[in-house]
Amino acid sequence: MTYALQAKNELVRHNLGNNCCRRAELTAFIHLGGNLQLSGRKLSLNVVTSHAAVARRVFSLFRQTFKLAVPEVLVRKKFRLRKNNAYLVRINDSPKLRELVEQLGLLHEDKTTALQAGDRCCRRSYLRAAFLIAGSLSNPENSYHLEIYTDYLHQAEELAALMLAFGLTPKTIKRKNGFLVYLKESDQIGVFLNIIGAHTTLFGFENIRILKSMRNRINRLVNFETANVNKTVEAALKQMEAIQYLCRLRGLASLTPPLRSLAELRLAHPEASLQELGEMMSPPLGKSGVNHRMRKLVKTAAALAHKESGGQDSVRRGANHKTKGKQQG
């Protein structure tokens, strides 16, 4: 079962609410999943969904809100690979249907029925139905993404305006033959789930989000510590090489007492940090002081190495010059 399906299974059990909220919910179902069909002079209304429980909810809304006779429910088998059945709730031509179409404003040019309702409860109901009929929610273990699909731009704009009214900042994008209104931030998805009444789903979502946040924080700390350890090891190896070079070339006795004592400690404790070396000294020395002395040791070794290589180069150049002179003579 997908994460979106879990959320929808919770939402379809939500109380149908008062009459105004039921109308707002029905409006969303019809806007995003329905169509009006005119055959001759007969008008029929269809709402299509791939979720059986959503079809039952639409059925109940029609009956309770407009006291309709039993709507017709059809099941169509989808032949495409791994596709569920399609459930069609149909209301055939009747005075009640024409009353429903008029009261919900389905034939009006102004499509902002839900926005005109005004009450926050009705706006919540509209968004709930929009998610049920055309929404999708990614598993938060993998990514944070909630979207609602619609065929028409004005419906996408209406959905975005409703979300904005609750302090959300959705984005709208054209996708194939329709439009997507989506949220990518985990905080905003959590707020949206709370708005539409998916509280159990919200608790599970927040648990996963907290665990992911903790894992990410632990990984960052581990990576930070690993980088620090690697940096410390590389610096210690460089210091060891410099001190060993000084030992071979001149011996530690040639160093000043402060530098000699630090060099001896580094040779005895190659794994120790600068702070630990400072604590071993007598009297103890701070990390900055140890670092200053260690830099002097490395700099001294580098200067001697440069001098030695320079002297050897000059000897080689002199020998080459004499050889060329003999050949010319």
Q: Residue 314's pLDDT is what?
A: 44
**What does the pLDDT look like over 147-168, one tens digit per residue?**
999 999 999 999 999 999 999 9
Spell out the residues 6+ positions from residue 114 whose beta carbon is closer than 8 angstroms to its own.
Answer: 24, 27, 28, 122, 123, 126, 158, 162
Q: Which two tokens stand for residue 129?
A: 């139905």
Local structure of 225: helix, strand or coil: helix
Question: What pLDDT shows up at residue 282?
Answer: 86
Q: Beta strands 86-91 and 72-76: pairing type?
A: antiparallel
Q: What is the pLDDT of residue 130?
A: 95
Q: How far apart are CA 159 and CA 153, in angstroms?
A: 10
User: Quick one: average pLDDT of 256-278?
Assistant: 88
Residue 217 has pLDDT above 90, yes or no: no
Q: Is 277 helix (H, G, I), strand (E, B) or coil?
A: helix
Q: What percent of the chain has pLDDT over 70?
A: 86
Q: Provide DSSP, 2-51.
A: -HHHHHHHHHTTS---SHHHHHHHHHHHHHHHEEEEEETTEEEEEEEES-
The confidence score (pLDDT) of residue 316 equals: 46
pLDDT band at 70 (very low <50, low <70, confident <90, very high): low
Which domains are delineated in the chain? 3-197 (3.10.28.10), 226-315 (no CATH)
Question: What does the pLDDT read at residue 153?
Answer: 92
Q: What is the pLDDT of residue 329?
A: 45
Q: What is the mean pLDDT of residues 182-210?
A: 93
What sign for the dihedral angle of Cα 122, 123, 124, 125?
positive
What's the pLDDT at 93? 67
Give helix 3-11 / helix 52-66 axis angle, nearest 10°: 20
The answer to whether the bond into 283 is cis (omega within 30° of 0) is: yes
Question: Does the pLDDT value for residue 194 go beyond 60?
Answer: yes
75-106 per-position pLDDT tens digit: 877 655 456 788 888 888 677 777 777 777 67
Question: Measuring CA to CA, which residue among 146, 167, 170 is closest to residue 158?
Answer: 170
Q: Which residues, 6+ apart, have CB-to-CB distance to 145 below 8 Å?
A: 136, 137, 138, 182, 183, 184, 189
Percent of the chain past pLDDT 90, that is, above it, reads 30
The per-residue pLDDT for 110 is 52
